[in-house]
A and B are shown apart, each in its own frame.
Chain A
Amino acid sequence: MHKLSIRKYSKSKLYFSYAALFILLAAALVLGISIGSVSIPLFHVVQILGAEIFHYPLPKEIDSSTVSIIMQIRFPRVLLAMLVGFALALAGTAFQGLLKNPLADPYTLGVSSGSSLGAVIVLFFGLQLPGIGNFTLPVVSIVAGFLTLVGVISFARLVQRNLSVETIILAGILCSSFLGALISLLIALSGEELRQIIGWLLGSVSMRGWPYVSLIAPFLAAGLLMLLTSARELNAMSFSQSDAKSIGVDVKKHTTIVLLGASLLTGSAVAVSGTVGFVGLVIPHIGRMIWGVDHRQLLPLSMLLGGVFLVLVDLLARTIIAPTELPIGVLTAIIGSPVFAIIFIQHRRKRVTT
């Protein structure tokens, strides 16, 4: 009976967590849409979203300019912030689990450096690929990120055939440093594009609009699916790589799936928003502290948490010293690091005393 009650408790805790996160996320989205240079009452936000999504009749006191601010500017912006938060938190959780390394984050393997280099090249040369026009930057960025991943894995294979974790991390760091140097080189050579490049590198979700939302969405869906179907394997591999083999996990196959999924997420996030640090490193830690290590729950829960976090940070970034907007990537770290430090210290203390 005792055992049963514990199981029940942990199950109900899970349901509660999901419900709480969904409510938080909805609140954050509404809040993010409502607050800005033109303040829109919360109730209006709900009404407008209701009208646009569920085709409820729109009350007369709301004018069409408010609707277009919401639908053309704020809504896609908070959605993009949410999706980028989703992607980075997922990728971070997966990389940390796969590499058995709590210090890993979406940027460990150099995928983001590849994506960044792609974007910086587009900005530096003012490239416009035929047919995709303004989409040149995110598309080139994703492709560059993917090529980097292929490069890292083939290099790791070249060194050691069985794709061991240490080799992958080392290959990633190597590629990362090399690509980072190339980015610095381009920055050093750049003239008037400098501000644009730096601005992009610091990360932002402003003025992207629906096309960017629809660009990241399919990658997010694909990445999420790939990670979720490998969640049990991720549990086994994050426990011990050799152990995973002995309980029948196809380690090579699932390592590849997880790497690919997490890299898609990272690459697409970097492509639409630049490098937003911290989310992918710390959100999984907070997730594990609250919900434990089971990736079947940890992945979706961390994803939701990452979304809430990034929507709120974006809100802060554009209101704290309005009308000037702070780069979101800088703010995530400025807010997140001390918060995490406090959580971390308290968690450790609790563990030591119990």
Chain B
Amino acid sequence: MISAVKVNAGYEGKKVLNDISLSISKGKMTGIIGPNGSGKTTLMKVLNGTHPMNGGEVLIKGKRLQDYSAKELARVIAVLPQHAESSFDFTVREVVELGRYPFYKGLLKAASAYDEQVVNEAMELTGVQGFAHKNINQLSGGEQQRVMLAKALAQEPEILLLDEPTNHLDLSYQMKLMDLLKKWIFSKELTVVAILHDLNIASLYCDEIILLDEGSVKADGQPRAIMNQDLLQDVYDTNLTRQEHPSTPSPLIAPVPEMDAQEKTIQSIELTASKELMVFSSPFPLKTLSSALIGGGFQWASTFVNRHVDKNYYIDDAHNEYKDYLQQRQFDPHDTIGMMTAARLEDAGVVSIQEKDFSLLIAATAGTGNAVDAAQSWIRKEEDVTIGTINIWIFIESKLTDEAFVQAMMTATEAKSSALREHEVLDPVTKTMATGTSTDSLCIASTQSGTHTMYAGTITLLGKAIGKGVYEAIGQAIENYRKRMALC
């Protein structure tokens, strides 16, 4: 649809676009991203013929840009500008009618019935017909944007160029606008080129993304390829991190602020324990990966609650009950990782490990009455399930990658099984060695400070420490339990 070959452009003495070559395909949404001053707006202006080129060539539908007359070009390309302010009180309808300008013929440029029809349709599609006779300066930013969109549509363009269309719009308008554009790409066979500041909007909505840097195309391709942490970090010169969108296959980019100088050590984590509650509280949030009832998955939390419940505790909506329970005790459920156990908290095993590059604090509570051999668990019937839980808390002072989190979970689980075998805990149903219990939970919490740790498998120092620590903590918990039972 549009192709540019070695385009150069600039302003007096300053080169802005440097040998830019690109091609934009029909019926797609193409996003142009790049830091301030990378030439996005100039590129846009060159493409719609409002800024001169100093060399190079732009082809629109296979025809050279300079072979189009101004009106001809306006029948192919419409532009949605950033602002819609005017010194005068134009009505909405008058503004939309401006979009028909390239179609008027003759000296008097009279409007035909068809022009009128197109204007009405454009106003309907953008939902501005309700205030057709209102003054544009009296509308809100979002409404003005829709009026300008109606004007662009009235041009019946094949290509729509947008310069930061979501600027000044609140989130709901941004999404509505982009959804609308997506729809038109299909229904009107529109080709959309948009300068976007918000990388995540670009990632979510664009079919193709062109990344500009210092007047050159740094990269172009599909969002999955362009939303690359290292690439963007380099171009934007900022700390960024890439994540997956929870519900669509579009990567998200989140900026990472410069960390404050606060010292983040696990020494500052405090443990308070009673019969009912075992609480680890940290003065700063830790990044966690857990299977806990409250705050499962990846989270940030600074309170970690292991709650003792009666072994007859049975509530349908345990999740909400636990939230209420936390709130009554002044814990913020959004900042808390919460587990439950019927095991006695005073039996908990706690292990602390100091290494050169990291520190660990591991705590475990173990009720083994319902121990299960995972490999044989399929033999069990549903009614065999009784309460009995091993909860493991691992606090790490290091900077973990996501991979390290997952490997820490694996390592801890393997060490748990090993501890159960060592203490000869049997599956009461199958009479084989138990590997865990049926409702175990595990939480890895990292300060994300200090040394970088890529992996936490048993080949690494961290993995080795986790394995040893978990094994010891569970051992202590089982021994404490057995000691207490023996005393009874």
A interface residue numbers (CB < 8 A to B): 3, 6, 97, 100-102, 229, 232-233, 235-236, 238-240, 242-243, 245-250, 288, 292-294
Contacts and interface: CB of A to CB of B under 8 A. Distances in A.
22 contacts: A3-B132, A97-B88, A102-B87, A229-B107, A235-B90, A236-B98, A239-B98, A240-B81, A240-B84, A240-B85, A240-B86, A242-B81, A246-B48, A246-B74, A246-B79, A246-B81, A247-B99, A247-B101, A247-B151, A248-B70, A288-B89, A293-B89
Given A6-B133, A239-B86, A240-B81, A247 B91 contact: no
Given A229-B107, A242-B50, A247 B98 contact: yes
A242 B44 CA distance: 13
A293 to B, nearest CB: 5
A245 B101 contact: no
B133 to A, nearest CB: 6
B73 A292 contact: no
Contact of A239 (B77, B90, B102): B90
B95 A248 contact: no
Contacts of B90: 235, 239, 292-293
Identify the 6 closest CB pairs spanning chains A and B, nearest first: A248-B74, A248-B102, A248-B71, A246-B79, A248-B70, A293-B88
Among B87, B89, B98, B109, max chain A CB count under 10 A is at: B87
Interface of B: 48, 50, 69-75, 77-79, 81, 83-91, 94-95, 98-99, 101-102, 104, 107-109, 120, 129, 132-133, 151, 155
B86 A236 contact: no
Contact of A245 (B70, B86, B89): B70
A6 B123 CA distance: 16
Given A235-B98, A242-B81, A292 B86 contact: no
A293 B91 CA distance: 8
A219 B145 CA distance: 42
A292 B94 contact: yes
A327 B420 CA distance: 112
A236 B101 contact: yes
Contact of B81 (A6, A232, A238, A243): A243
Given A232-B109, A239-B95, A246 B86 contact: no
Given A100-B87, A242-B81, A293-B88, A247 B94 contact: no
Contacts of A247: 74, 78, 98-99, 101-102, 151, 155
Contacts of A239: 86, 88, 90, 95, 98
A130 to B, nearest CB: 40
A33 B395 CA distance: 101
A239 B94 CA distance: 10
Nearest to B45: A242
Given A239-B90, A246-B77, A293-B88, 5 more contacts: A3-B132, A102-B87, A247-B74, A247-B101, A248-B75
A36 B361 CA distance: 108
A288 B88 contact: yes
A249 B132 CA distance: 24
A292 B97 CA distance: 14
Contacts of B151: 247
Contact of A248 (B87, B101, B107): B101
B69 to A, nearest CB: 8
A236 B89 CA distance: 13
A293 B73 CA distance: 26
Given A229-B107, A232-B109, A239-B95, A246 B88 contact: no
A147 to B, nearest CB: 29
Among A102, A233, A235, A246, max chain B CB count under 10 A is at: A246
B101 A249 contact: yes
B155 A294 contact: no
A254 to B, nearest CB: 11
Contacts of B77: 246
A102 B72 CA distance: 32
Contacts of B91: 292-293
B86 A238 contact: yes
A247 B94 CA distance: 14
A235 B111 CA distance: 14
A147 B89 CA distance: 34
B38 to A, nearest CB: 20
A238 B136 CA distance: 13
Contacts of A236: 98, 101
A352 to B, nearest CB: 11
Contacts of A294: 94
A102 B88 contact: yes
Contacts of B94: 235, 292-294
A101 B69 CA distance: 29
A232 B71 CA distance: 13
